[in-house]
Amino acid sequence: MADIIDLAQKRTAEIVQEAIDLVRRAARSDADGDADGEDPACRICGDTIDPRRMKLMPGAMTCVDCQRDIEQELKSKGYSNWT
């Protein structure tokens, strides 16, 4: 049974790392400057981000659903200071 738990923990760590890498890459590509007023698309699923969300959180890179997934993943790993 320990093997299954180890595998699950390893996979969870990989998923969290992928999410962090994705957000970091997106942040870097933003710094390169493509803020040209196009409809913002979620960097994870590609859906258009709700304009109301962009108004509340200018610079948001993910839709509400993906952001919630990331936060839940990070919280489950103990990254409580993630914003």
Among 19, 23, 61, 63, binds Zn ion (CB under 5 A): 63
SS3 41: strand
Q: Does 23 bind Zn ion (CB under 5 A)?
A: no
Q: Does 49 bind Zn ion (CB under 5 A)?
A: no
Window contacting Zn ion (CB under 5 A); options: 2-10, 11-19, 37-45, 70-78: 37-45
25 with 76: CB under 8 angstroms?
no
Pick from 7, 8, 35, 45: which binds Zn ion (CB under 5 A)? 45
66 is a contact residue toward Zn ion (CB under 5 A): yes
Q: Check binding of 61 to Zn ion (CB under 5 A).
A: no
The count of residues in the chain is 83
Residues 26 and 41: their CA atoms lie apart, in Å, by 11
Q: Is 67 within 8 Å of 60 (Cβ atoms)? A: yes
Summarize as ranges the residues that interact with Zn ion (CB under 5 A): 42, 44-45, 63, 66
